[in-house]
Structure 1
Amino acid sequence: MRNEKGSLIRPVPLPNSASRPVVTPLSPSVVYASDTPDMLDRQYEGELHGYTYSREGHPNADVVAGLLDRMENAPNPGVLTSSGMAAVSAVLLGLLKAGDHVIGGNQLYGRSLRMMSEDLPRLGIETTLADPGDVQAVRAALRPETRMILVEVVSNPTLRVADMVGLAALAKETGVLLVVDNTFTTPRAYQPFEHGADIVIHSVTKLLAGHSDVMLGYVAARDPALNTRLRVFTVTAGMTPSPFDCWLAERGMLSFDLRFERCQQTAMKLADALGTLKGVKRVIYPARSDHPDHARAAELLQARWCNMVSFELDGGREAANAFTTAAEGLSFAPTLGDVGTTLSHPASSSHRALTAARRKALGMSEGFFRVSVGLEDPDILLAVFERAVDAAVKA
């Protein structure tokens, strides 16, 4: 088809340049043109590297996946997905079948728990929840049909630390896949592949991208065949990430190490300060000697404790409402990993689907908060928390 001047509507190719862009170009094209059918065959058969249709891969996704592959020392190229839960879904739905059994940590992220308790059983996949800090409890949950153990190194939001050494040994002994969601810890603190994991998952949305403007996930497997199955499933299920989100994520990831260190340093100060305040019932942070898994955390994380702090206020929902209202300048939002500090209330967000009794059993009362510490000046941040806790006490 020609326009009125007689030229083709889509001119090809782009202008050549002797120099190259410093910033990765954004590539929003959904389709890519090949020269011949033979060339397209060679691309699909892996003889040539090239893009065809963005659901099957695009340059911006490959750039970000490559960054994460290096950060995690992934044995095979990982695949980027449209969200962290898409990565979790790719593992559970792409690798399991009816009749299989999977064991999940009993303090997984709320949506992961929901998938374990509601969606997988509906599809004929049996599930059991067990304490990942107690290897014997996980061993007791094993069945002949168990195919997978899914855990977080540090749980969301109670910050309990899994016995990764024991779980890796158990998985190796039994031939069960060990799947690790490394979102909270990040590759800066822990690299699961180096410690026996078979599959690693990330919600890139969080601290890796770090600016609350990206929705992405990542998954990679040690076994090449499983890695291929994951890639094929994500393509088939349409879990394709947006090129724009990938482009933004790359920008965020380039400053990740610096942000991690600053946020972690402030998190340690905040945890200690909260522990001194009247009206705070308890503080949960792995660096603190009163954390129930402190010794294990010190061994696994090598003093990279993460930027997450959880604490419990005296009082119930009224105190929680007063706290968030008085915490001026802080975002009360169900997310984590932003450049600014954010507050999350599991009872009204991530774990609202659980009964009050179930939340209580996990240690999440109406006064329980999770804090994702950002890049603010520590002194200013501590002053905000002091005023907010005081308001909760008065409530």
Structure 2
Amino acid sequence: MTDTLVRRTPWPESASRAVVTPLQPSVVYAAESPDALDDQYEGRAPGYAYAREGHPNADVLAAKIDAMEGLSGGFVTGSGMAAVAAAAMGILRAGDHILGANQLYGRSLRMMSTELPRMGVMTGLADPTDAAAMAAAIRPETRMILIEIVSNPTLRVADLHGIAALARDRGILLAVDNTFTTPRAIRPADHGADIVIHSVTKLLAGHSDATLGYVAARDPATNDRMRGFATTLGLTASPFDCWLAERGLYSFDLRYDRAEENARILADRLDGLPGMRRVLYPGRADHPDRDRAAALLGTRTGNMVTFEIDGGRDAANRLVRAARNIAFAPTLGDIGTTLSHPATSSHRALSPEDRAALGLSEGSFRVSVGVEPADLLCAEFEAAIRAAAS
């Protein structure tokens, strides 16, 4: 018996099937013959060979997100930024130009300012709420535009239709990061986007226990280029994280709807509290892009609320210490509410002057609203904000 312990035991057969998707952590898959392996690699037969190139749990998850976004052929990556990198670095070449929204996620901005130029890709930024400003920033070498529909963390709403028309007329690929809005609010490919990106880590998975990304293009050849780049550089998703994220998707609609309703209530309750400078929520009448949000998103204005208090860093510290039951963490989309301080997390790499240009100060906070009872959540924030103002 000891001589055979290292031999793999065949999986037990069953006339019934598992209700839950099996977790398949295998790194490698054994083929029947060299001819059979050829058939897999050349597309004549389905199958897996090496997990860096793909595995069942990633494909199950990608197929579900494909269905949500109305796309096909998307794939899962090891993180949201890996998905952004697969889109940009997998397509662009030295001498190309990419135009980004000037309020992208902090690490996306860092990729634009540091990593892409290092590889010879030219970059530029412009205001995504103004299609004319985007048009003015386009160069003859521009090959891609990268935007978020709702920006992080100032919650400005991009002129998606204007930018999509601009990209179509100029023959430029439009990549949209749909992490904040999710397909529950909008499917960017239905509105002219060529590439759709997600940090699955956030709302889709929803429990802060899986780090993943997703990217898909409407054009199969573009999908193949991005997937080839991701496979070559090893931007591989963990089977266990994919399994966790798939489980999270089953409650996604319920979580999103409850968190969105809580966000509406919280945004209204925050307004007018002592020391409150401003509250930003796309569903409020005083939001600078309210009309565009209504046209694009309807009532699906999301679970994110941003606010700014007086008092600078000292007040910010008082607020966080008083909000003991609200996780102060640089994430979003968790089933529970989290609080983030952009100046020390997502946008810490920017200078104070650059943060100020985006409308961010030491008193700016971003709230990813969860599914707690709304009254409890509002009471906790009211107490913390009053403590910050004391």
Report if TM-score (shorter chain) is over 0.5.
yes
SS at structure 2 position matched to 1:323:
helix
Deviation at 1:92, TM superposition (A): 1.1
Does the CA-based 8 Å contact 2:153-2:366 persist in structure 1? yes
Provide the C-alpha distance between the structure 1 equivalents of 2:264 and 2:21, rounded to a whole number of angstroms.
Answer: 35
Given candidates 56, 61, 65, the residue that maps to 1:59 is 56
- Give the alignment of 1:153-302 within 5 angstroms: 153-302=149-298
SS at structure 2 position matched to 1:312:
strand
One-letter code of the match for 2:378? L
1:339 matched to 2:338: no
Given candidates 353, 363, 384, the residue that maps to 1:357 is 353
SS at structure 2 position matched to 1:248:
helix
Provide the C-alpha distance between the structure 2 equivalents of 1:93 and 1:168, rounded to a whole number of angstroms.
Answer: 21
Aligned to 1:110: 106
SS at structure 2 position matched to 1:172:
helix
SS at structure 2 position matched to 1:337:
coil
Aligned to 2:318: 322
Deviation at 1:7, TM superposition (A): 3.6
1:96 matched to 2:92: yes
One-letter code of the match for 2:34? P
Deviation at 1:35, TM superposition (A): 0.5
Name the TM-score, length of structure 2 as normaliser: 0.99
How many residues align? The count is 390
Deviation at 1:12, TM superposition (A): 4.7
Aligned to 1:307: 303
CA RMSD, 1 decimal: 0.8
SS at structure 1 position matched to 2:107:
helix
Provide the C-alpha distance between the structure 1 equivalents of 2:10 and 2:224, rounded to a whole number of angstroms.
Answer: 32
SS at structure 2 position matched to 1:290:
coil
One-letter code of the match for 2:354? R
Deviation digits for residues 289-345 of structure 1, max 9, x if unmatched?
100000000010111001000000011000000000001210000000111100000
Provide the C-alpha distance between the structure 2 equivalents of 1:279 and 1:165, rounded to a whole number of angstroms.
Answer: 37
Aligned to 1:18: 15
Deviation at 1:47, TM superposition (A): 0.6
Kindly report structure 1 stretches of 4+ aligned residues shifted beyond 4 Å: none
Provide the C-alpha distance between the structure 1 equivalents of 2:186 and 2:311, rounded to a whole number of angstroms.
Answer: 35
Deviation at 1:11, TM superposition (A): 3.4
Given candidates 70, 73, 95, the residue that maps to 2:70 is 73
Aligned to 1:136: 132
Unaligned runs of at least 5 residues, structure 1: none
Deviation digits for residues 32-65 of structure 1, max 9, x if unmatched?
0010111000000011000100001001000100
Provide the C-alpha distance between the structure 2 equivalents of 1:382 and 1:354, rounded to a whole number of angstroms.
Answer: 31
One-letter code of the match for 1:256? F
Provide the C-alpha distance between the structure 1 equivalents of 2:350 and 2:162, rounded to a whole number of angstroms.
Answer: 29
Name the TM-score, length of structure 1 as normaliser: 0.98
One-letter code of the match for 1:189? A
Deviation at 1:155, TM superposition (A): 0.1
Unaligned runs of at least 5 residues, structure 2: none
One-letter code of the match for 2:362? E
Does the CA-based 8 Å contact 2:73-2:220 persist in structure 1? no
Provide the C-alpha distance between the structure 2 equivalents of 1:196 and 1:35, rounded to a whole number of angstroms.
Answer: 44
Aligned to 2:42: 45
Deviation at 1:284, TM superposition (A): 0.2
One-letter code of the match for 2:285? S
Provide the C-alpha distance between the structure 1 equivalents of 2:44 and 2:119, rounded to a whole number of angstroms.
Answer: 37
Query: Could you tell me the percent identity over the aligned residues?
Result: 65
Provide the C-alpha distance between the structure 2 equivalents of 1:283 and 1:310, rounded to a whole number of angstroms.
Answer: 6
Provide the C-alpha distance between the structure 1 equivalents of 2:281 and 2:130, rounded to a whole number of angstroms.
Answer: 19
Aligned to 1:9: 6
Deviation at 1:8, TM superposition (A): 6.5
Aligned to 1:391: 387
